[in-house]
């Protein structure tokens, strides 16, 4: 614990600390890795009068690990801080532009990725030289047992003591670290085999499972060779019991085809045993305590597969040095440092997590064609967009797009974005992959669609989407969500829908899907723009659900459905489906998501039944599947049926989680459902969704690639780039956009113009408008080739 004198030195210093030209500080830096060394350099650059000592337990030229990589852009940020050290570091950079992927006997190469590598040892030696030159006192072979002791004698202690930071543990109650030991096993090896033409990934299938290597050259003779695999594979190989040498020999054998007879070498003699590790994902609630601050891996780690740990550590070092010179006192500097760096670190950690999880789940993608596998690998962190890949390597991306179009049956010469690839489900042919997601309009009169609906759906169908899905259309008056919801339970409603469907078919080449549903416990509520999900002010009707539950304390408690209720509702679904068939809809979607009646059976949050419709997932799926089978029996055989599900209740293990959604999809697939529309949430008021760009797409990805079922992705997808990357990576077959289509009914046609695609059909009366837009757009690509934040 902190002694009084420790605290008093910090407090004293904090009080009289002044920025720029203020009192020089006496600083101890615990750890001479990239974070510690670069921090001391950055401090000296700002004020030579600081008295700085680095304590490092190793010798100056000890090296554990091999090379580190920087991307072109990231090194520029660092270079601006200290051009002389950047210049010397750059002189030792090995550069490469390509990423090569060995997978299923193919080597796929894409270019434009712009990386540089340097030996970790060289980097540290250069940073040591620069630190010395600036007057930093470097003390090697000195292990610091306690940062608290140092803190007594120094104004500031920077704990840059790495991944397994002792300081972080010493002050755990203040830093509140969360360390997540990830499931894959990896070992950091080196080799003299040349990998100097590309950053190379090698995926090998062995008798014990898949194992892969991340390899890159970092100097004239040496390459890093990180071997990674899932824990069961590692166990089966018996790596746990092997010495480091035996591990190397086994890996040499596995990767013999790529090593050209060269050996794999370990330099992790400091690690006891086999040197295989599980990556620890480190997060800390706080980075500073009194006069001690965490930096680099000690504060936060980023998985090695995005090669950003060193950059992150060095950028944090610059930031800390900046704030110590711009802020009035040390605590203010710490606060600014945490504030500024935390966002950046979290952003990078989020990309690193995506990348790390991709490798953890890689077996999910190992059925993919090499083209798609490669695309999936390149976009795994979800930072690199489709159009950014085009900037990096147009030829490679166009080859991949041509592959996608060919697979979609568009013909050999089609060079178009994936979103413009056709898609077929049973006999329904869609001209492209964009879907207008179902959206309640709350404008029906007694369940009957009005001219509003005609104009609304006609506009979206004219706007270029391949498929327009109508709002949840209810199978009975009491099955409506609100008094403004549409229905399919009277001849007038059927006729009104037929008028809309006929218009879409006569005037556009879009297809139209009817979403059928029953509101369950979320029924008898106000219009969407009134108080959503709140009971009606007057005229409420009784509601029923899987069990006697209420949506919220304000809503009425639903009646638990009896078998007779279930029969009646099934018949209502069947009658509605027959009407939809007569109205000419091309596809049916059964709404089993968002907490409505069928969803209330699926999620354990609302299904408390003790009969054969409650309990296990199979039981909870029984009634939704009963509805599906009844509809399939009356719905034309050539037309597809989709089911929309909530793939995550966002309440943790109590509710549906993504792995349960995979099990649900398996049951749907076995039953013969043609496509799963993968939504999420809205099943509980206790939900804590994690929003973000394309935030529900991982659920679709998982279902599609683990079950082989066709999927639609939905949720905060709003850029053509999002759509293309989802499709090209095989994360969904169709992409639904809801709110973007409220803002712009012509979203698809406008996207085509921005992308320079001239293949979409415009309504004939609008051709002069189209031509003007083409001219204004200059005929080129207007899309932003984003590296997403
Ligand atoms: C397999 C693998 C591959 C990686 N590849 C890359 C890559 O390609 N690019 C990249 O940017 N990053 C990479 N990283 C991450 C990178 O190594 C770290 O993010 C980076 O080194 C962090 O710097 P640091 O200064 O915070 O910690 P470290 O580099 O770990 O330095 C901490 C230092 O503190 C010293 N120390 C610790 N405790 C004490 C003590 N009690 N007393 C005295 N000294 C002590 C240690 O000896 C060490 O020298 C990789 C990491 C791994 C595991
Ligand atoms: C106004 C509005 C009404 C909606 N009505 C329905 C509906 O009737 N049926 C349904 O399954 N989803 C409905 N949704 C959900 C959307 O289909 C979609 O899943 C959600 O808005 C996320 O997509 P987005 O981010 O593109 O908007 C509705 C969404 C909005 C904004």
Residue 110 has pLDDT above 90, yes or no: yes
Residue 9 has pLDDT above 60, yes or no: no
When pLDDT is averaged across residues 267-287 and rounded to a whole number, the result is: 83
Instruction: Return the biggest CA–CA distance within the chain.
Output: 89
For residue 467, the Cα-to-chain-centroid distance in whole angstroms is 26
Task: Give residue 354 CA to ligand 1 midpoint distance, Å.
Answer: 21
Mutate to test the pocket of ligand 1, among 216, 309, 314 (most ligand atoms within 8 A of CB): 309
For residue 437, give the ligand 2 atom closest to its CA.
17
Rounded distance, CA 726 to CA 498, Å? 33
Residue nearest to atom 30 of ligand 2 (CA): 439
The ligand minimizing its distance to the Cα of 713 is: 2
Residue 44 has pLDDT above 70, yes or no: yes
103, 375, 489, 596: which is the annotated catalytic residue?
A: 596
pLDDT at residue 23 in the model: 81
- 375 included as an active-site residue: no
Mutate to test the pocket of ligand 1, among 310, 317, 345 (most ligand atoms within 8 A of CB): 310
Rounded distance, CA 240 to CA 243, Å? 8
Rounded distance, CA 213 to CA 101, Å? 10
When pLDDT is averaged across residues 114-125 and rounded to a whole number, the result is: 91
Measured distance between the N- and C-terminal CA atoms of the chain, rounded to whole angstroms: 40
The per-residue pLDDT for range 625-674, each reduced to its tens digit, is 999 999 999 999 999 999 999 999 999 999 999 999 999 999 999 999 99
The per-residue pLDDT for range 331-369, each reduced to its tens digit, is 999 999 999 998 888 888 888 889 999 999 999 999 999
Question: Please, which pLDDT band fits residue 75 given cuts at 50, 70 and 90?
Answer: confident
Q: Name the phi and psi angles at 200, rounded to 5.
A: -120, 130
pLDDT at residue 31 in the model: 97
Question: Please, which pLDDT band fits residue 137 given cuts at 50, 70 and 90?
Answer: very high
Residue 781 has pLDDT above 80, yes or no: no
Mutate to test the pocket of ligand 2, among 738, 740, 742 (most ligand atoms within 8 A of CB): 738
Ligand 2 near 739 CB (within 6 A): yes
pLDDT at residue 786 in the model: 57
Smallest Cα–Cα separation from 247: which of 237, 258, 259, 261? 237
Helices (H) and strands (E) in the chain, counts: 27, 30
For residue 589, give the ligand 2 atom closest to its CA.
11
Rounded to 10 degrees, the C-alpha dihedral 530/533/535/538 comes to: 30
When pLDDT is averaged across residues 89-115 and rounded to a whole number, the result is: 92
Residue nearest to atom 2 of ligand 1 (CA): 304
Ligand 2 near 714 CB (within 6 A): yes
When pLDDT is averaged across residues 537-546 and rounded to a whole number, the result is: 97
Ligand 2 near 484 CB (within 6 A): no
Task: Give residue 163 CA to ligand 1 midpoint distance, Å.
Answer: 6
Task: Give residue 401 CA to ligand 1 midpoint distance, Å.
Answer: 40
Question: Please, which pLDDT band fits residue 459 given cuts at 50, 70 and 90?
Answer: very high
Task: Give residue 682 CA to ligand 1 midpoint distance, Å.
Answer: 43
- Extract the tokens encoding 222: 């040496």
Task: Give residue 439 CA to ligand 2 midpoint distance, Å.
Answer: 5
The ligand minimizing its distance to the Cα of 472 is: 2
The per-residue pLDDT for range 430-443, each reduced to its tens digit, is 999 999 999 999 99
Mutate to test the pocket of ligand 2, among 440, 469, 647, 718 (most ligand atoms within 8 A of CB): 440
pLDDT at residue 14 in the model: 44
pLDDT at residue 449 in the model: 98
Residue 688 has pLDDT above 70, yes or no: yes
Residue 692 has pLDDT above 50, yes or no: yes
| pTM, 2 dp | 0.90
The per-residue pLDDT for range 697-756, each reduced to its tens digit, is 999 999 999 999 999 999 999 999 999 999 999 999 999 999 999 999 999 999 999 999
**CA dihedral sign, ordered 300, 306, 309, 313:** negative
When pLDDT is averaged across residues 48-65 and rounded to a whole number, the result is: 90
Question: Please, which pLDDT band fits residue 164 given cuts at 50, 70 and 90?
Answer: very high
Residue nearest to atom 11 of ligand 1 (CA): 310
Which single residue is written with the structure tokens 């300081």? 167
Share of the chain above pLDDT 70, in %: 94
Instruction: Among 42-46, 197-201, 382-386, 620-624, name the one with the lowest average pLDDT.
Output: 382-386
Question: Please, which pLDDT band fits residue 63 given cuts at 50, 70 and 90?
Answer: low
Residue 18 has pLDDT above 60, yes or no: no
pLDDT at residue 361 in the model: 95
For residue 593, give the ligand 2 atom closest to its CA.
11
Q: Ligand 1 pocket by C-beta < 6 Å: which residues?
A: 30-36, 55-58, 65, 68-69, 143-144, 160-163, 166, 188, 226, 296-298, 304, 307-311, 313
Instruction: Among 232-241, 252-261, 777-786, name the one with the lowest average pLDDT.
Output: 777-786
For residue 740, give the ligand 2 atom closest to its CA.
26
Q: Going by DSSP bridges, is the β-strand pair 156-159/292-294 parallel, antiparallel, or unpaired?
A: parallel
pLDDT averaged over every residue in the chain = 93
């Amino acid at each position: 614990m902190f002694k009084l004198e420790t605290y008093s030195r910090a407090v004293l210093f904090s009080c009289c600390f002044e920025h720029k030209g203020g009192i020089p500080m006496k600083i101890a830096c615990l750890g001479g890795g990239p974070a510690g060394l670069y921090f001391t350099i950055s401090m000296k650059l700002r004020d030579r009068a600081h008295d700085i000592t680095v304590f490092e337990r190793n010798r100056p030229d000890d090296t554990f690990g091999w090379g580190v990589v920087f991307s072109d852009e990231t090194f520029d940020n660092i270079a601006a801080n200290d051009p002389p050290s950047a210049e010397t570091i750059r002189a030792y950079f090995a550069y490469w532009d390509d990423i090569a992927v060995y997978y299923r006997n193919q080597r796929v190469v894409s270019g434009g990725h712009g990386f540089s590598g340097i030996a970790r040892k060289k980097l540290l030696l250069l940073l040591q030289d620069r630190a010395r030159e600036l007057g930093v006192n470097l003390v090697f072979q000195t292990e610091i047992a306690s940062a608290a002791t140092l803190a007594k004698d120094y104004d500031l202690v920077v704990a840059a003591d790495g991944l397994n930071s002792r300081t972080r543990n010493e002050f755990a109650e203040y830093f509140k670290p969360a360390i997540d030991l990830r499931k894959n096993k990896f070992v950091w090896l080196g080799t003299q085999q040349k990998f100097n033409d590309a950053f190379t990934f090698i995926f090998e299938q062995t008798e014990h499972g898949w194992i892969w290597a991340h390899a890159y050259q970092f100097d004239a003779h040496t390459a890093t060779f990180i071997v990674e695999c899932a824990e069961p594979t590692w166990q089966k190989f018996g790596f746990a019991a092997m010495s480091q040498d035996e591990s190397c020999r086994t890996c040499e054998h596995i990767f013999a085809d790529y090593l050209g007879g060269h050996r794999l070498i370990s330099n992790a003699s400091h690690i006891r045993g086999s040197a295989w590790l599980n990556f620890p994902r480190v997060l800390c609630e706080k980075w500073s305590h009194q006069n001690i601050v965490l930096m680099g891996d000690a504060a936060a780690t980023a998985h090695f597969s995005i090669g950003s740990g060193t950059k992150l550590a060095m950028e944090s070092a610059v930031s800390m040095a900046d704030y110590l010179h711009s802020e009035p006192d040390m605590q203010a500097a710490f606060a600014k440092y945490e504030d500024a760096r935390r966002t950046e670190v979290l952003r990078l950690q989020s990309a690193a997590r995506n990348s790390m999880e991709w490798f953890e789940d890689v077996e999910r993608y190992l059925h993919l064609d090499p083209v798609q596998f490669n695309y999936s690998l390149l976009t795994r962190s979800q930072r690199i967009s489709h159009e950014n890949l085009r900037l990096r390597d147009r030829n490679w991306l166009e080859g991949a797009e041509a592959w996608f179009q060919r697979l979609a049956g568009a013909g050999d010469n089609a060079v178009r974005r994936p979103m413009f690839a056709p898609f077929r489900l049973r006999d329904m042919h869609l001209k492209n992959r964009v879907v207008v997601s179902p959206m309640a309009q709350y404008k029906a009169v007694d369940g009957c669609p009005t001219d509003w609906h005609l104009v609304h759906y006609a506009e979206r169908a004219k706007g270029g989407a391949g498929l327009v899905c109508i709002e949840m259309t209810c199978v009975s008056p009491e099955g409506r969500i609100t008094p403004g919801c549409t229905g399919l339970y009277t001849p007038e409603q059927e006729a009104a829908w037929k008028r809309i469907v006929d218009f879409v078919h006569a005037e556009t080449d879009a297809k139209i899907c009817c979403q059928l549903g029953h509101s369950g416990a979320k029924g008898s509520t106000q219009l969407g723009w009134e108080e959503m999900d709140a009971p009606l002010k007057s005229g409420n009707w009784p509601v029923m659900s899987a069990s006697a539950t209420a949506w919220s304390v304000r809503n009425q408690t639903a009646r638990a459905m009896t078998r007779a209720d279930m029969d009646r509702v099934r018949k209502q679904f069947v009658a509605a489906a027959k009407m939809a068939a007569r109205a000419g809809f091309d596809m049916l979607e059964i709404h089993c998501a968002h907490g409505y009646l069928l969803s209330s059976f699926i999620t354990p949050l609302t299904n408390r039944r003790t009969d054969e419709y409650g309990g296990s997932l199979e039981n909870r799926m029984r009634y939704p599947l009963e509805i599906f089978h009844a509809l399939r029996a009356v719905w034309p055989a050539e037309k597809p049926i989709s089911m929309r599900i909530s793939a995550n209740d966002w309440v943790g293990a109590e509710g549906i989680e993504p792995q349960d959604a995979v099990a649900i999809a398996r049951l749907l697939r076995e039953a013969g459902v043609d496509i799963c529309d993968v939504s999420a949430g809205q099943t509980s008021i206790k939900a804590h969704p994690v929003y973000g760009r394309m935030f529900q797409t991982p659920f679709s990805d998982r279902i599609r690639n683990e079950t082989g079922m066709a999927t639609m992705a939905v949720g905060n997808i709003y850029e053509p780039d999002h759509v293309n990357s989802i499709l090209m990576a095989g994360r969904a077959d169709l992409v639904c956009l809801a709110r973007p289509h409220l803002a712009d009914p012509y979203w698809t046609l406008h996207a085509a113009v921005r992308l320079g695609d001239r293949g979409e059909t415009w309504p004939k009366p609008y051709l002069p408008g189209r031509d003007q837009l083409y001219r204004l757009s200059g005929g080129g690509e207007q899309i932003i080739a984003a590296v997403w934040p």
